[in-house]
């Protein structure tokens, strides 16, 4: 493995283990795992999911649905608000696969009734507390209006209610994540009870990786859609969603300069490789990555006290305590665990495994 | 122009005008304009620079140098610390173009002396106060050691001293940018005086867009390397580097939801399109973009009080005061001025002009 510039390394065994744990958790709790493929955006990694019996997936855009449909995936939910401007692409997709759309309003249903050419499934997006998008679960009038609107309309099948508790990302503690999750379960269960008689097959779907990783109670839930768990990252580790050694991605970066007077090591690897996402450490300092030592088959635990303290477009600036500063020299390649794996993978464009395989990422 | 998903719009006339102003300023001040192509990363936009007589360029990586060399550029400075791991690629490039490298240490010179196969130019990186990389201008011993090291070594030509005052980006006022610039001029002039007798052709090169846009005194400077000015953005506007109507890029985004109860408009357009860069407004709120109305030939001024208040991976959340909230409906396409044009262009991958031309961006 010859690394000369920033390279996204994938520890395949960690990745497979992450998939296995989530797949087993889903089976144990009688949940359909419909993983969100926006994290890896990879045909090859998609195959690893197939090996665990997964046939149904979630994506973040019509373009991503097209990519995976072209590569054999037949059951796709686009977990992004229905965008009427992409109706042609949606009709095209719906002609060949089982496609589920996310509906947020009566207007979208009226538009679909006029413009759909092939059958689609719909999930109604419920706002269970995140307040980004969705219909509040107490707005039964609007839900009824949507559901009445599609009665006797053959091209739309009501699949169920879908929510995303994105506010677990800013909760700050496992207790608070638990509270958000329980509140979400409560609201979704209530909705299910209300509509269960009319729609006995309705699916309740939740999504966020912190809840799916940390929680054990999924009463009333039928489907989970986590994405990030396939790699995990420092943000998820800070939430408690994963152990640090479950993180399956790092960026290998060449060292290009060292400054003893300020204990800084400069690497080739910047915002265009990592994104500008950061977490705060206990001292309130921004941390854009943790440093690991690379071996032939994997990497070490993070080196204590060493972290990426800032990023320019192509440079990474690493703060290194004395004991680690001396260990590295210009021309060495070090590894950096990313703060947000989805964004890093999106920027890097492909993966390299320790078996020297190049793994695709959607262009 | 049919827009159905996030699309990077380029106002070509604004872009050409930005290039023209900087080219004229360079001419007026007797400076070589060696623009940094990391901002646009485009062969086509590169041609627009050629039309202004520009033949020498700056890039941020060996890969970017390869890209532009393949497309006919013959005089390229890689304004990133010399990375010894890429020596093969550097030798290949140096065999066909005039290539300048950035040197930060005696060790790099020793390495080059052993491994170079073709002639290169070198700039010594000076740390004039930013403290990211470079040799402090008072470290005459190290500078002498580097310069002595290449005496009588035919494959290395000393070109001059190069610095980048990246701390103008966090200066906070034009007065402070002026102070940084003047301090930089002073230090670089002193260096030039010191070495001028031995190296009468030595070039002093400075780089940052705020200084190059705002300052009028370039005494002792021979070359400028700004990049961002080709498009400008909200960050540069906040620094005072440009007027808001000089910003030549916006992202056209479909509206997918509206929430009157919190005056929020949701668009298709998120971190994977804009990056997570933000500026703070006067109230200390994070602002990830300003909103404009799109026309057939250009766009409006930013709508007062309306801004992108947060970004998810694919969603943008816009705060809209009542008067603007009512103006837009789901399915409309609005424009968003980016906070950091380099990162947005890097993420979007190509540009669309109002003449419906698709303009390339390095893959």
Geometric angle at alpha carbon B88, from B83 and B90, rounded to 5°: 60
Best CA proximity match to A111, nearest among A98, A97, A122: A122
> What are the C-alpha distances in Å from A143 to residues A125, A135, B133, B255?
10, 8, 58, 21
The answer to whether the CB atoms of A5 and B276 lie below 8 A apart is no
- Identify whether B222 is part of a domain: yes
Tracing tokens 């680690």 back to the chain, one arrives at: A324
3-state secondary structure of B71: coil
CA–CA gap between residue A255 and residue A331 (Å, rounded): 5
The answer to whether the CB atoms of B256 and A330 lie below 8 A apart is no
> HSE of A169 in the Cβ direction (CA atoms, 13 Å)?
18
Alpha helices in chain B (DSSP H): 12-28, 43-50, 62-70, 87-94, 106-115, 140-149, 174-196, 209-214, 234-239, 271-274, 322-325, 341-348
Pair (B35, B147) in one structural domain: yes
The answer to whether the CB atoms of A256 and B166 lie below 8 A apart is no
Pair (B208, B253) in one structural domain: no
Distance from CA of A28 to the nearest CA of B (A): 30
Contacts with B272 from chain A: Cβ below 8 Å: 343, 346
Rg (CA), chain A: 22
pLDDT of residue B152: 87
Burial class (CB in 10 A: 0-12, 13-18, 19+), A193: exposed
CA–CA gap between residue B20 and residue B233 (Å, rounded): 17
Contacts with A166 from chain B: Cβ below 8 Å: 312
B77 in Cβ contact with B65 (< 8 Å): no
Pair (A257, A345) in one structural domain: yes
What would the mean pLDDT of A198-225 be, rounded to a whole number?
96
pLDDT of residue A1: 78
- The pair of three-digit structure tokens given for residue B91, joined into one six-digit string: 């030798």
**What chain A residue is nearest to B167 in terms of C-alpha separation?**
A312
pLDDT above 90: residue A311: yes
Distance from CA of B65 to the nearest CA of A (A): 14
B249 in Cβ contact with B9 (< 8 Å): yes
- Identify whether A66 is part of a domain: no
Pair (B178, B47) in one structural domain: yes
- The pair of three-digit structure tokens given for residue A154, joined into one six-digit string: 């053959």
pLDDT of residue A295: 97
How confident is the model over A46-78, as pLDDT tens digits? 999 999 999 999 999 999 999 999 999 999 999
> What are the C-alpha distances in Å from A106 to residues A109, A140, A205, B130?
5, 12, 20, 55
- Identify whether B134 is part of a domain: yes
- The pair of three-digit structure tokens given for residue A263, joined into one six-digit string: 């204990």
What does DSSP assign to residue A13? Answer: H
Contacts with B3 from chain A: Cβ below 8 Å: 85
The pTM is what?
0.96
Integer distance in angstroms from the first to the last C-alpha of chain B?
23
Pair (B56, B191) in one structural domain: yes
What is the residue range of A349's domain?
A: 244-360
Distance from CA of B331 to the nearest CA of A (A): 6
CA–CA gap between residue A48 and residue A54 (Å, rounded): 9
The answer to whether the CB atoms of B80 and A166 lie below 8 A apart is no
How confident is the model over A90-126, as pLDDT tens digits? 999 999 999 999 999 999 999 999 999 999 999 999 9
**pLDDT > 70: percent of chain A:** 100
DSSP bridge partners of A9: A250, A352
Best CA proximity match to B353, nearest among B5, B1, B11, B4: B11
pLDDT of residue A34: 98
Residue A152, Ramachandran bin (φ over 0: left; ψ between -120 and 50: alpha; else beta): left
**What chain B residue is nearest to A60 in terms of C-alpha separation?**
B314
Domain boundary (B206, B231, B256) is at B231
β-strand pairing of A333-338 with A249-259: antiparallel
**What chain A residue is nearest to B2 in terms of C-alpha separation?**
A85
- Identify whether B278 is part of a domain: yes
pLDDT above 90: residue A149: yes
Burial class (CB in 10 A: 0-12, 13-18, 19+), B49: buried
- Identify whether A56 is part of a domain: no
Pair (B57, B196) in one structural domain: yes
The answer to whether the CB atoms of A343 and B4 lie below 8 A apart is no
A127 in Cβ contact with A162 (< 8 Å): no
Sequence-separated (6 or more) residues with CB below 8 Å from residue A75: A55, A56, A57, A97, A98
Tracing tokens 């144990």 back to the chain, one arrives at: A28
pLDDT of residue A41: 98
Rg (CA), chain B: 22
β-strand pairing of A307-311 with A249-259: unpaired
Strand ranges, E, within B117-165 = 120-125, 156-162
**H and E: helices and strands count for chain B:** 12, 19
DSSP bridge partners of A255: A267
- The pair of three-digit structure tokens given for residue B323, joined into one six-digit string: 């008067």
- Identify whether B238 is part of a domain: no
Pair (A220, A249) in one structural domain: no
Domain boundary (B203, B231, B259) is at B231
CATH number of the domain within which B138 lies: 3.20.20.10
Contacts with A107 from chain B: Cβ below 8 Å: 330
3-state secondary structure of A287: strand
CA–CA gap between residue A288 and residue A253 (Å, rounded): 14
Of the candidates A61, A82, A317, which has its C-beta nearest B314's C-beta?
A61
The backbone torsions φ and ψ at residue B296, rounded to the nearest 5 degrees and listed phi first, read: -75, -20
Pair (A260, A153) in one structural domain: no
Contacts with B89 from chain A: Cβ below 8 Å: 4
ipTM of the shown complex: 0.96
**What chain B residue is nearest to A314 in terms of C-alpha separation?**
B60
Distance from CA of A347 to the nearest CA of B (A): 7
Pair (A222, A78) in one structural domain: yes
DSSP bridge partners of A7: A252
- Identify whether B188 is part of a domain: yes
A132 in Cβ contact with B312 (< 8 Å): yes
- Identify whether B237 is part of a domain: no
Pair (B102, B151) in one structural domain: yes
Structurally, chain A folds into a number of domains equal to 2
pLDDT in tens, chain B (363 residues): 789 999 999 999 999 999 999 999 999 999 999 999 999 999 999 999 999 999 999 999 999 999 999 999 999 999 999 999 999 999 999 999 999 999 999 999 999 999 999 999 999 999 999 999 999 999 999 999 999 999 989 999 999 999 999 999 999 899 999 999 999 999 999 999 999 999 999 999 998 999 999 999 999 999 999 999 999 999 999 999 999 999 999 999 999 999 999 999 999 999 999 999 999 998 999 999 999 999 999 999 999 999 999 999 999 999 999 999 999 999 999 999 999 999 999 999 999 999 999 999 999
Pair (B123, B270) in one structural domain: no
How confident is the model over B296-349, as pLDDT tens digits? 999 999 999 999 999 999 999 999 999 999 999 999 999 999 999 999 999 999
Alpha helices in B95-244 (DSSP H): 106-115, 140-149, 174-196, 209-214, 234-239
CA–CA gap between residue A248 and residue A41 (Å, rounded): 15
Pair (B326, B214) in one structural domain: no
Of the candidates B85, B259, B266, which has its C-beta nearest A4's C-beta?
B85
Chain B interface, best mutation among A272, A274, A334, A360, by max B CB count within 10 A: A272
Domain boundary (A167, A194, A226) is at A226
Best CA proximity match to A343, nearest among A251, A247, A241, A274: A274
CATH number of the domain within which A326 lies: 2.40.37.20
């Amino acid at each position: 493995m010859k690394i000369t510039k920033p390279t996204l390394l994938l520890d395949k065994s960690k990745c497979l283990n992450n998939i296995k744990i989530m797949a087993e958790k889903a089976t144990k709790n009688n949940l359909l795992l419909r993983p969100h493929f926006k994290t890896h955006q990879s045909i090859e990694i998609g195959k690893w999911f197939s090996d665990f019996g997964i046939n149904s997936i979630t994506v973040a855009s019509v373009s991503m649905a097209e990519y995976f449909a072209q590569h054999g995936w037949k059951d796709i939910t686009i977990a992004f608000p229905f965008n009427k401007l992409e109706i042609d692409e949606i009709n095209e997709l719906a002609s060949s696969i089982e496609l589920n759309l996310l509906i947020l309003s009566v207007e979208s249903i009226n538009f679909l009734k006029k413009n759909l050419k092939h059958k689609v499934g719909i999930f109604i997006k419920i706002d269970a507390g995140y307040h980004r998008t969705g219909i509040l679960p107490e707005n039964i009038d609007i839900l009824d209006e949507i559901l009445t609107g599609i009665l006797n309309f053959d091209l739309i099948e009501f699949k169920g209610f879908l929510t995303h508790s994105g506010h677990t990302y800013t909760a700050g503690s496992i207790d608070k994540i638990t509270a958000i999750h329980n509140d979400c379960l409560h609201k979704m269960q209530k909705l299910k009870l209300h509509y269960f008689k009319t729609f006995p097959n309705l699916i309740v779907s939740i999504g966020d990786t912190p809840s799916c990783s940390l929680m054990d109670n999924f009463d009333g839930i039928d489907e989970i859609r986590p994405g990030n768990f396939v790699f995990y990252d420092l943000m998820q580790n800070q939430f408690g969603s994963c152990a640090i050694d479950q993180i399956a991605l790092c960026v290998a970066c060449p060292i290009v300069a060292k400054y003893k007077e300020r204990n800084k090591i400069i690497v080739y690897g910047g915002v265009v490789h990592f994104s500008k996402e950061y977490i705060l450490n206990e001292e309130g300092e921004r941390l854009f990555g943790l440093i690991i030592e690379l071996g032939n088959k994997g990497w070490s635990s993070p080196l204590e006290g060493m972290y990426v303290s800032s990023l320019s477009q192509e440079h990474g600036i690493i703060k290194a305590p004395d004991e680690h500063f001396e260990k590295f020299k210009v021309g060495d390649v070090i590894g950096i665990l990313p703060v947000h794996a989805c964004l890093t993978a999106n920027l890097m464009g492909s993966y390299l495994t320790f078996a020297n395989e190049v793994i695709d990422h959607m262009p």
